[in-house]
Structure formats: structure tokens, C-alpha cells
Structure 1
């Protein structure tokens, strides 16, 4: 059997994806128990509901197998407030460590973006969410396009104000079986949001930390145009998120989407695949006109070595239902665009299988007790 020093050296390969350092340097290796043919390791997490538990289990066991240890166990506890404060000081982190207890029950986070506006990200997000819900999945949508919020209107939610629970958590509104959160619920419908980076960061943090999302199979995040503050903030808050690229067929959109992919790689968001939207205009009679050209989505997928999940045509019904506030897939599943979106939703499900059985061995998540209720800065009812 390896020695404790051998094990600590091997565990330096286990990196915390949020803090970008190994668990030994971070002081997160609480205990090492060496038994007869077995090694057990206890890792201290920054929060009891850390969404990255499975990452640590897999990485620790891989490191131990490299030492010839085939039978191992991984357990968790939580850093004390004093230990977290010391870790923050050591790392030079201002404010709180990456939290995550409120998103720990979300299995898959998918950021939907393109790097530019006008490619139909929001209508695609809404219809994908409804399609995933119709497949029996629990789904939430976060409208991260703070300046150009349109998700509430597309779900027919208008200017309703979300309620607040007794625990001071914002309860997302629901439409078509999808939980929805947007800055549009907190400002007058036609108001312009004029914010710089720090305000954006704070708002997105609240949408994740102070919203009671509950258990979700998928949280879809509608990104704004560009490759700046919002994407970097989400990468910091949700290091397990994946990036789904949307492009139209023409080279101009394809090139911008390629830059968005580069941004995602730089901030360490996983690239999931490509969707070609507005893939020709399909008339009610079924005729197709490639008004934006052909093949851009496949070209982008080939360049990035990613799967092309599908090609969604532009139809009159797709636009009409976005304005009517009811996702097209919910009311007209036979429309060409609805059929393509449903096909894409099934591809997403196939590419995000259930978490491996190793999670069944983990202790159940328990709520983190706070010394005092945490308020929210967003205006509440």
C-alpha cells in the first residue's frame, strides 16, 4: 500500500475547477485512512451543496488508481467559517467563495450564445426548454440577456413579479412546465437596463444564489450578444456549465460564433455543440428558400470538431408564437421548425446522460444552515 506522503502527492492532480488549484494546496484533504487494500479520503468543500462532488470523487479515485489502489472511498465535510476565511485570505479572494448550494441540484447547465445578436437565441432557448419539458425533463430558463431581455414575453409571463418564500428566496415563475427567471420581472416592461460589469455580476449571482430553482435536469441560460462580462461571470459562478453555439448559415454569423467559442474556451466553459438557426425560410406550403445561405452550421461544427445538433428553419409560425407568448413546440409540433427543435432536444438529452452510479454512494445533500436570513438586493414583492 502507498504511504500517506505518496497519496498526498498523487492528490495534487485533483484540481478544484472553481478555485483553479489542487486540493492539497488548498488544504481540502481533511483525512486519509489507509486500510487493508483500501484507502479512504475525506475532502472538505467550501459549501455543503457543492455541485462538483462527483468531479472530486472521480478525480480522487483516478489518482488513487494511479498508485495501484483499486478499492477506495471518498467522503466530504465542509470547511468551517474560520477555515473559509483563511482560504479566502490565502487566495486573495474578495467577497465570498464560489457558493453553489442553491444550484447543487441542477444536473446540467447549458449556456446558449452566439457572440452576436439577431440569430434567434432567445426564441431557440424558449422552444428548447419547452421541448425538453415535453420529454419529461425538469427545466429552468435564466434570461441572462440583461439589456435585451425578451424571455418573459416569449413565455407569456408579461410583467408579473415573482413571489418570495419565507426563507427569502425568489420563486421563479412557471410557464409550459418551465421555471423562468429574468430581470424583466423586476423592471417596467419597456425600461432600459443601464448597468456596468459589477452590477451585472451581482444580478447574475443573485439569480443563481437567491432563486429557489430546486431540482432541475436542465438550466438553460440565454446569453446576451458579445463575449464580455456576462459570459465571464457565468464561467466563474458555474464552472460546470457547457456552451451551446448558435449560428445562422452565412459566413458573417459563423465567424462571430467562432469567436464566441474561443471566448468559452478561454474562460474554461465546455463546448457542447452547434445549432444552425434560420436554416432557410420554409413557407406554409413547405417550400424552402435559403435566404441566409447554406452550410454555415456544419462548417462551424467541423472547424471546432463539435457535433451539429440540428438545423432549424425560419417559419412564420415560429415568429408568430414568440410574439404570442406560447412556444411553437407546445402548440404546433408539426411545424418544420418545431420538428427540428424537438430533434435537437432529444440530441441534447442523449449527449447529457444521467450522472454515473458513483453518485449513489454519496451522502445526501443537506441544506446549509445560515446564521441569519440572506436578503436579496433585487426589488421584491
Structure 2
């Protein structure tokens, strides 16, 4: 992959970049819709590309390993061919999903053994095995196996977890050197900076990873219970250490406000289930604030959901009609709302890029945050 920083904001660490990947070009900062099992929930690929302007999506190694399984993915020719999504794709390692299996996992230096949430069957993920799985999936950007400690992890545990992640990274890097991509294009492995809420561990972890001269770097283990201010502080503290001309990916974050604040602190890439999950539950993110569409106040509101949206259903249907679909239990409600939220997130990124290029990102961010975070 090739990444170029094109414009830097004069008043923050925000920057616009251009990432060239085997399946296309991605302008940063960017939000990646989450397609855990090879599809973004309730959104067709055609809608995803045309209505939201999505250019890169995320898949999950843990879930895809369990369903549909590696044999099916490989026989199909990789996840791009299987899912028919032909744009860039990133897969995470499943480390966070394993972290969430408290009581059904066991960590050792060898790797992590866990019980499937589907049928209780036991598997072992090693750093080498995860690389092999992601070779079969075939994403443009892949993640090494890591451990994601909780936000309130004690210092000793966080330190041991970080050291475990670094040891697993070394083995993943070696496996990358000794294996070849299966589908005729290279894959980029992003090390994941861990260290919980401790700045010294985060810095030590990041500095240890610099020897790999990786094509990009991820920041993991945030938005897992720690206060938002700590997340911002950790991200900002990593700016001087992470290479300037490499993309920075903040994993699993977050709200529109989180995205803007972390762009200001030098982050280029984001993913989160929030747009689709909250959409399916009737929460809409808009430029005017956060809408609970199930609220009775929208019952006779016959204006378009969002006339400024890139999503065609937003301009076609009214707030009253969308509320009617939700209170009636219609599946179409979640589809429209999910599409709206993903479109809003991508519009937010596009506007952030525009403001960075104009040199007005910082003042724009400060002016827009009170509006988009208010409850309507």
C-alpha cells in the first residue's frame, strides 16, 4: 500500500491523506462501516457505495472463521469475491471479540484458546494462525493477534498484556515474511498499540513497534470503559511517536464527536458498529443533533429525514414515515436508519477533509460539536 499526507491542518494534528490499496484509493480521514460477517447489517453493497459513499469496509476474522468458515471463503476466491464487495477491505484479528468472551477463553504465550459463542466448540488462535486466516480472507489491510485489556486494567496486567501483544506481533511479522498472499496482491499488516490507560505503556509499545517500519499503525484497546478524556489523551500522546507518513487507525471508535476530536489528534481511520447498531434501535445522527425517531414528537413531521444527505431514502421518506415503520416493527425501518447513519458518518468525514484542506478544521470542529451532539 501507499499512503501520502497531502494537507495538514495548521491548528491541530489533523491531516488529509491518500491511501492507495490493491482494491482502490481511499481518502483520509475515513470511517469504515463494519461488515462483521462480510456484509454491513441491513445495507446492500450497492446502497453502501452509492448512498453512503463508503470506499472501505471492515470484516471480522473471528466471526468469519466460524461462519462461513475458511473452506467456503477460499473456494469462493476470498471475501471480496464471496461478498461481491470490490472496494478496499480491512479485517481485524478477532482480539477484541476474544476479549469479550470472558470465562470462555484462555491466554498463553502460544496464543488464545476460546469457545465459540455459536456452539461452544474450542479453537486455538495463534499469531501465525491468524495471519493464515487473514491470508485466506484476503483483505487489503490485516491486523495481528493482540490482547485487548479492559479500560480499568491494573498496571501490572496491562504491562503483561502489552508484552504479550508485542511477542505475538513478532511472530505475526515472521509469518507474513514466510507466507505469500493467495489472490495475487499484497496485504498490509498494521501493528496494534496496546497498553490500556497508561501513557508510559502506550509509548513503550509504540516505540517497540517502530522497528518494523510497518505500512500503518493501529491504536487498540480504547473505548472499552475508560473515560473519554483518557482516550483523547492517549491518542494525542502517541502523535509524536507514530510515523507521520503512515496512516493511524483508531479501532472501534466511536461517536461523531469522538471522530472529530481524534482527527484533531492525528487519527486517519476509524470503524465502529455504532451507526448501524444505533440506527436499528431508532437513533439517528444528524447535523442538527441526535434524533430518537421513536419519540411521539415526530409522528406528524412530514419533512424529509435529511434533505442534505447523500442517501436517497433520506430525501425520499419523511421523519413521520420512518417513525411509523419503527413503531410498527417493520424491518425497513432499521434499513433506512442504518443507511442514514452510515451516510452521515461518511459525510462528516468528507466535510472534515474539506475543512482541513481549507485550513479551518479546528474552528469548524469547535463550532459544529455542540450542534451534532445535542438531543432533539
Greater percentage in helix: 2
Question: TM-score when scaled to structure 2?
Answer: 0.32
Question: TM-score when scaled to structure 1?
Answer: 0.31
Larger radius of gyration: 1
